[in-house]
C-alpha cells in the first residue's frame, strides 16, 4: 500500500497525481467495495457481491486483500440461523479512498488539458481554418 495514502495527490506525490494512487485500492472492484462501504455504516457480503457482479470467491479474495491492508474490517455473524458477513470501512480505508478518487480526478483533469492542447490550431487571421 502506498504510504502516502490519505494525503492529497499533489502532496503525496511531490508532483504527479499518479504517485498518489494506491496499488491496493487502484483496482476496479476493490475501489467499488470501498466506495459502497464508505456510503454505509457497514455493507452485507451479498449486497457487495450483487452490486459488483462478483462471484463469492472473487469477492472474498478482494476483501482479504483490503482487510490485510487495514482498509476494511470483516465481521461474521448470524441472522437467525443464516451466517451473515458484514464489511465495514476503516478510517484508513476512507482516507485511501479519498486519496485515490482525488488522484483519479486530477489525472482526468490533466488528460483533458493535454488533449485540449493537442487539437489543431487555427492559423492567425484565418477564422475559417483555411490554409494560406
Partner 1 sequence: MAEDPREPAGGEAHGEPAAESGPGPADTPAEHAGLAGESGERLGSQPELLGEMKALRRRARVARHAYWFPLVLFGVLTCASVPFYIQPAFRQVPAGSGIFVRASSATGPWLPFLGGSPGLVQSYLAYYWIVALLGGLVLTQLWYWWHARRIGLQTPARGYLLITTVLTVLAVVIPPLSQVRSPHWLRFMHRLQVLWPGDLVIRGTFPFLIIAVGLLALAWAERSRALTVTAVVYTGAALLASLYDVSNITYRLGWNPPPSGQSLPSVLLPALVLLVAGAGAFAVQRLHRTTA
Chain residues that interact with partner 1, rule: CB under 8 A: 16-19, 21, 23-24, 26-32, 35-36, 38-44, 46-48, 51-55, 57-58, 61-62, 65, 79, 86, 101, 104-105, 107-108, 110-111, 114-115, 118
Q: Which is nearer to partner 1, 35 or 92 (CB)?
A: 35
Q: In angstroms, what is the minimal distance from the CB of 25 to partner 1?
A: 9
For residue 18, give the 3-state DSSP assignment: helix
Q: In angstroms, what is the minimal distance from the CB of 91 to partner 1?
A: 13
Q: Which is nearer to partner 1, 6 or 33 (CB)?
A: 33
Q: Which is nearer to partner 1, 39 or 124 (CB)?
A: 39
Q: In angstroms, what is the minimal distance from the CB of 117 to partner 1?
A: 9
Round to whole Å and give the CA distance between 115 and 101.
21
Q: Which is nearer to partner 1, 32 or 70 (CB)?
A: 32
Name the strand (E) or helix (H) holding 2: none
Round to whole Å and give the CA distance between 49 and 27.
16
Residue 58 to residues 7, 55, 94, 106, 125: CA-CA distances in angstroms?
29, 5, 22, 30, 60
Q: Is 124 left (phi over 0), alpha (psi -120 to 50) or beta?
A: beta
Q: In angstroms, what is the minimal distance from the CB of 55 to partner 1?
A: 7
Amino acid at each position: 500500500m502506498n504510504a502516502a495514502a490519505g494525503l492529497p495527490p499533489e502532496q503525496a506525490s511531490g508532483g504527479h497525481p499518479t504517485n498518489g494512487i494506491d496499488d491496493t485500492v487502484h483496482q476496479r472492484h476493490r475501489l467499488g467495495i470501498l466506495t459502497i462501504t464508505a456510503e454505509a455504516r457497514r455493507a452485507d457480503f451479498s449486497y457487495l457481491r450483487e452490486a459488483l457482479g462478483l462471484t463469492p470467491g472473487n469477492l472474498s479474495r478482494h476483501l482479504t486483500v483490503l482487510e490485510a491492508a487495514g482498509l476494511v474490517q470483516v465481521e461474521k455473524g448470524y441472522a437467525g440461523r443464516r451466517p451473515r458477513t458484514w464489511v465495514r470501512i476503516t478510517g484508513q480505508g476512507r482516507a485511501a479512498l479519498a486519496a485515490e478518487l482525488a488522484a483519479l480526478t486530477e489525472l482526468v483533469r490533466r488528460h483533458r488539458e493535454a488533449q485540449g492542447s493537442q487539437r489543431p490550431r487555427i492559423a492567425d487571421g484565418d477564422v475559417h481554418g483555411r490554409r494560406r
